[in-house]
Amino acid sequence: MQRTLTAMALVLAATATTATAEDKIVVEFGYPYSHLFDVTYEAILPKFYEAHPNIEIKMRATYESYEDGTNTILREAVAGTLPDVTMQGLNRQAILVEKGIAKSLEPFIAAETDFAKEGYHKAMLDLGTFNDQVYGLPFSISLPVGYYNMEVMAKAGYTETNLPKTWEDVVQACVKLREAGVDNPMFWGWNITGNWFLQALMWSQDKPTVMGADFQLDTPEGLKTLETMQSIFTGCEMQNLEWKAALASFSAGDLGMMYWSTSAVGAVERAMGDFTLVTAEYPGIEASGPLGLPAGGNSALLTSQSDDPEQLAAAWAWLKFITSGEGAADVARTTGYMPPNQAANEIILADFYAENPAKATAVRQLPLLREWQAYPGDNGLAATQVIYDGLEGIVTGEFADMSKLQEELTEEVQDLLD
């Protein structure tokens, strides 16, 4: 795990108020992906402290991934060391609700005089609603997009007007780029958290990956998903890069194309070399484009084990601040995520996306938003790893027969879900 020490310490010091340490209520907070979100919280904290000088936010060690975040919270629940507020992947909320770790936010919402659920995009708010109770408020929402280095793409005759529309187009572009002398034309984010890109190909065909407790890979859409991956990996001769190395390689200007979450736009822009970055809609299996795409991102959950009303009120104040208004607007300003709150959109959308077109692509794809599904039951994380290993086997060439892999993955994952 990484610790967010230097930058956060500077923010905390710079925003100190006249209130003494004894006067402040300390809210412990855990979140993932330091490389994406440190800059976001550096922007949010001064505004929060100005509004709430009696509250101190204590940042815990950041989670390496959403799976790491869920495992950490499950361990801390047993040890009695939970943070007051945690950020969890949209597809990992259910298990914390089922185990009674996450608290319902309905009592806090009901006590607010100026809080309206309608302020949050309904499709996004639904992702944190269980049994008609809101447990998670969406903080950052992403969709998969295409990243293009236009100087590299120009070597094969591509401009912003003829970028790939289908995965077959992508493979053709890889061939042209290799002929133009590009050693590694493309990276496709198979290893992104939560089997997100597998679900993206399934939803592209309007097929959920899970229905109830049934794994849907044993369908024609499932086979098409695996075959599409294989065609991308082999047709592009894609290197099996670890995802951080892939982002670094694209930022350095080595890759012509990268297919990843829009969440990384801000990080790429801060790290990129001297080239023109363009993002475009996620390609489809068919020329008509995807029929749906899974919503990525995370939600803020209240996991405090305190019974002190003041402590809980402080935790709610932080949770509400970061998911609404200026707090949510800073998510879009500092990352490539979309703000889940309509009020935040009103603050920034009028000019922001016109001035930042690379961050606007996911917004255009919002009508495609579908659920990022979790695998139900206590073995959900194990199922995620089984699928991960299977997909890596396609990348490395270990698995060549997609029908056989479909059968093996279906049997192993279904056994875990059953």
> Considering 368, 392, 409, which residue would you say is the last residue of a domain?
368
Over residues 18-23, mean pLDDT:
56
Residues 253 and 395 grouped into a single domain: yes
The amino acid that residue 357 corresponds to is: P
Buried b (16+ CB within 10 A) or exposed e, 256-273: bbbbbbbbbbbbbeeebe
Residues 91 and 149 grouped into a single domain: no
pLDDT at 123 over 80: no
How much is the pLDDT for 17? 42
Per-chain mean pLDDT for the chain: 91
State pLDDT tens for residues 248-262.
999 999 999 999 999
Share of the chain above pLDDT 90, in %: 76
Output the pTM of the full model.
0.84
Residues 126 and 259 grouped into a single domain: no
**Rounded to the nearest 5 degrees, what angle is found at the Cα of 24, between the Cα atoms of 18 and 29?**
120
pLDDT at 117 over 80: no
pLDDT at 54 over 90: yes
State pLDDT tens for residues 2-19.
444 444 444 444 444 444
Question: Is 21 a domain residue?
Answer: yes
State pLDDT tens for residues 222-243.
999 999 999 999 999 999 999 8
Residues 187 and 240 grouped into a single domain: yes
Residues 268 and 184 grouped into a single domain: yes
Question: Is 35 a domain residue?
Answer: yes
Question: Is 1 a domain residue?
Answer: no
pLDDT at 118 over 80: no
How much is the pLDDT for 306? 97
Over residues 396-400, mean pLDDT:
96
pLDDT at 80 over 60: yes
Residues 406 and 305 grouped into a single domain: no
Residues 266 and 405 grouped into a single domain: yes
**What are the Cα distances from residue 264, in Å, to 230, 331, 347?**
25, 12, 22
How much is the pLDDT for 2? 42
Residues 304 and 287 grouped into a single domain: no
Write out the two tokens for 239.
Answer: 């290197």
- The contacts of residue 112 (CB under 8 Å, 6+ apart) are 320
Crossing angle between the packed helical segments 66-79 and 380-396, to the nearest 10 degrees: 150
State pLDDT tens for residues 301-318.
999 999 999 999 999 999
How much is the pLDDT for 9? 45
- Which range of residues forms the domain containing residue 342? 6-142+296-368
Q: With residue 346 as reference, give the H or E element that holds it.
A: helix 342-348
Residues 394 and 256 grouped into a single domain: yes
**What are the residue ranges of helices labelled H in 126-204?**
150-154, 167-179, 196-204
Top pLDDT among 325 and 213 is at 213
Question: Is 268 a domain residue?
Answer: yes
Residues 255 and 320 grouped into a single domain: no
Q: What is the CATH number of the domain that holds 75?
A: 3.40.190.10
Domain count, the chain: 2
Top pLDDT among 324 and 199 is at 199
Residues 249 and 388 grouped into a single domain: yes
Residues 212 and 130 grouped into a single domain: no
